Structure 1
Amino acid sequence: MALAESNPATKVRDVRERGWFERIPAGYWVVCIALLIMPAFASEFTLYQVFGWSFILGMISLSLMFLGGYGGMVSLVQMSVAGLAGYMVAIFGDSAITDISLGWPWYIAIPLALVVAIFFGTVVGSLAVRTEGIYTIMITLAVAAAFFYFTRQNYAVFNGFSGFNGVLPPNLFGVDWRQSIPFYYLTLFWAAVAYFAVLYISRAPFGLALQGVRDNPRRMAALGYNVNAHRIAAYAFAALIAGTGGILLTWQSAQISPGTAGIGPAIDILVIAVIGGMSRPIGPFIGAFIYVLLKTFAIDVLLSVGLSGERFQLLIGLGFLAIVFFSPDGLLGLWDRWQDYRKRDPLLDRGEDRL
């Protein structure tokens, strides 16, 4: 009986016979319930500024994680894609800059903004996939820099340095979505959609083929797969996620300007993804939550001890270096190491033979 219970094949069969509901770890349910009831005990500032901002940055970083983790492509243009979607929803929809904004209804402005963002991401992807390694990073960084300077100097379409303000979400179902609780649930919903979409795609035939392209592109090409087409499609899907996050980011601050999608924010998205971990979709949200906590409260802590608030970026940099040094896979890697350490057999550690 003991041998039957310890048989790995029997355990695998038992897991497969259980429904998907039973296979979800208990910790996931605890997190989901906590997020759903968060407005019952969290302040409006925490809901709107901390969690809302974390969900948005997590979505944009998730688009980078999808490209890097599953496709092996590090892109620094994801914040530019998000910024372009924010600009488009301001131009096609309503804003305080009535001379430029077209004032189209939300059901036209939002889809068009996402289409433009996807097109932009696809074009950038079609250029970036022709390179590898550091050259891909440099091309996407150059595009991000060009987008920043173009939006800052163009007044006819992007209103130059000032950008757009008064960009508000539509008043659907009689709800003001910029209020703390509605906005919290709005960002939570789309963050969950993006998370499960990436999780599903990673296990679908396209995602598996993309991971094969990441590991051995020559072998995948020999098997008949179009390597560049898979990579470009990955850029398009990542642009959809980043564009959605960019629209939510514009609604949160009610404005969009060149600084929103500058070089600094583009690097911040990379830092967030790396800190959380690039191996699983939950990593970017963990990194975003830590980043938002530091950016929200670290300055006050520094000022309280007599240091300049400008040293905040130094704290982010030191934390980034420490995490990368001890765990290239970010905080998820540290968690996996700790779990492996807990499961380690002390008898084997002492070199004793259990037989």
Structure 2
Amino acid sequence: MTRIGQIPPAWLGLAALMLLFPVPANEFFLVQIGGYSLVLGTISLSLMILAGYGGMVSLAQLTAAGLAAYTIPILGNNTQDVMGLGFGWWLTIPIALIVGGVFSALVGLIAVRTSGIYMIMITLAVAVSVFFFTRQNYGLFNGFTGFAGIGAPELFGIDMRAPLPFYYLCLTVAGSLFCATVYLSRSPFGLSLQAVRDNPRRVAALGYSVVFVRIYAFFLAGIVAAAGGILLVILNGRISPGTIGVDVAIDILVIAVVGGLRHPLGPFIGALAFVLLESFAIDLIDRERFNTVIGAAFLAVVLFSPDGILGLWGKLRKRIGAETAMPRSGSLSSIQREEVS
């Protein structure tokens, strides 16, 4: 286990910054910037687990989050007079997590025997199929309208949809899943998943089931995505097919790639950049051209830093470190001084 003394100081500083963020922030920044970034970052984290550690790019992670979100009004309460079985949050949340994990595992069962563009196309086909099914099914998903009037949970009498509680709820969930992902990367399963990514034949020769490792990774990633979907339905109080549309699924991929797929922090950085652009870029450009801005930013990051924003930061640190280590002009290094003496 990682001790407090082994945690990088930058992580501790970031954690303190996130905890103190509500002090200067108003309600808009708390919910629409801070909370929403954490929600999108959590869903993108599920993609990072698959793509970063497993080398598997899935466009169905938002679909897993959406089905978990649909589970809440179906088993709980809504104002659409469709389903709404009246179960409490203590029961609907665990079931929603299981639904997201099982769905993702089923997607993995279909897709893990492929790779590259074929896996992307299979998971995209699943996402499109679920999108149209939810839009056309009125008995279970209430069709195009979806569900509205979904009440927020209460904890010790506190409304978790209120700006401050919601932000800290998102921070708690995102922080816990971030730490769990870091632990996963160093666990025996995480190491085996990364080994499967690098050389599946050698892993199979050692006696491991490559298919099982990949499917289990899909299951874990589905639970992470489901947690983000639950936060999303708490935030909006509604869920509809538009929430799990293909365009939004591609946004999740963009967020993960822009932030960086090689570290669990990357999806959250990418989500923050995406939300800031979405919130403030429309003041400078037309709403219809927002996707053009996102696409241009995506291409710029991919061209200059395949590792995303975190990769740019890493290159900057190395450059600063190299310049600091270089001897100053007019001075001699220790080796040069020895040669002169």
TM bin, normalised by shorter chain, reads over 0.9
The corresponding residue for 1:130 is 113
What is the alpha-carbon distance in structure 2 between the residues aligned to residue 135 and residue 50 of structure 1?
Answer: 35
Moved over 6 A (4+): none
What is the alpha-carbon distance in structure 1 between the residues aligned to residue 302 and residue 135 of structure 2?
Answer: 34
Which residue identity is paired with 2:117? I
What is the alpha-carbon distance in structure 2 between the residues aligned to residue 99 and residue 268 of structure 1?
Answer: 30
SS in 2 for 1:328: coil
What is the alpha-carbon distance in structure 2 between the residues aligned to residue 198 and residue 21 of structure 1?
Answer: 17
Which one of the candidate residues 318, 326, 330 is aligned to 1:346?
Answer: 326
Which one of the candidate residues 159, 162, 166 is aligned to 1:176?
Answer: 159
Q: Give, in angstroms, the shift of residue 98 of structure 1.
A: 2.9
What is the alpha-carbon distance in structure 1 between the residues aligned to residue 11 and residue 105 of structure 2?
Answer: 34
Query: Equivalences for 1:250-329 in 2 at 5 Å?
Result: 250-302=233-285, 308-329=286-307
The corresponding residue for 2:339 is none
What is the alpha-carbon distance in structure 1 between the residues aligned to residue 11 and residue 194 of structure 2?
Answer: 25
SS in 2 for 1:231: helix
Which residue identity is paired with 2:78? S
Query: Equivalences for 1:48-63 in 2 at 5 Å?
Result: 48-63=31-46
Which residue identity is paired with 1:274? V
- What whole-Å deviation, never above 9, does each CA across 1:92-122 have from its counterpart, x for those lacking one? 0111123321111111211111111111111
- What whole-Å deviation, never above 9, does each CA across 1:47-102 have from its counterpart, x for those lacking one? 01111000000000000000000000000000000000000111001111233211
Q: Give, in angstroms, the shift of residue 23 of structure 1.
A: 2.3
The corresponding residue for 1:66 is 49
SS in 1 for 2:194: helix
- Indicate conservation of the 8 Å contact 2:82/2:140, yes or no: no
Query: Equivalences for 1:72-83 in 2 at 5 Å?
Result: 72-83=55-66
Q: Give, in angstroms, the shift of residue 164 of structure 1.
A: 0.3
What is the alpha-carbon distance in structure 2 between the residues aligned to residue 212 and residue 45 of structure 1?
Answer: 43
List alignment gaps of at least 5 residues for structure 1.
1-15, 303-307
Which residue identity is paired with 1:324? V
SS in 2 for 1:113: helix
List alignment gaps of at least 5 residues for structure 2.
337-341
SS in 1 for 2:110: helix
Q: Does 1:219 align with 2:202?
A: yes
Q: Does 1:164 align with 2:137?
A: no
Which residue identity is paired with 2:7? I
Query: Equivalences for 1:95-244 in 2 at 5 Å?
Result: 95-244=78-227
SS in 1 for 2:22: helix
Q: Give, in angstroms, the shift of residue 157 of structure 1.
A: 0.4
The corresponding residue for 2:228 is 245
- Indicate conservation of the 8 Å contact 2:43/2:228, yes or no: yes
What is the alpha-carbon distance in structure 2 between the residues aligned to residue 89 and residue 309 of structure 1?
Answer: 31
Which one of the candidate residues 296, 303, 308 is aligned to 1:330?
Answer: 308
Which residue identity is paired with 1:55? L
SS in 1 for 2:159: coil
Report the number of matched residues.
331
Q: Give, in angstroms, the shift of residue 267 of structure 1.
A: 0.1
Q: Give, in angstroms, the shift of residue 347 of structure 1.
A: 5.7
Note the aligned Cα RMSD (angstroms).
Answer: 1.7
Deviating more after overlay: 33-42 vs 276-285 = 33-42
Deviating more after overlay: 211-220 vs 333-342 = 333-342
SS in 1 for 2:138: coil
What is the alpha-carbon distance in structure 2 between the residues aligned to residue 50 and residue 284 of structure 1?
Answer: 15
Q: Give, in angstroms, the shift of residue 22 of structure 1.
A: 2.1
- Please give the TM-score of this superposition, normalised by the length of structure 1: 0.90
The corresponding residue for 1:86 is 69
- What whole-Å deviation, never above 9, does each CA across 1:280-324 have from its counterpart, x for those lacking one? 00000000000000001110122xxxxx22111111110000000
- Please give the TM-score of this superposition, normalised by the length of structure 2: 0.94
What is the alpha-carbon distance in structure 1 between the residues aligned to residue 206 and residue 82 of structure 2?
Answer: 54
SS in 1 for 2:82: coil
SS in 2 for 1:40: coil
Deviating more after overlay: 61-70 vs 33-42 = 33-42
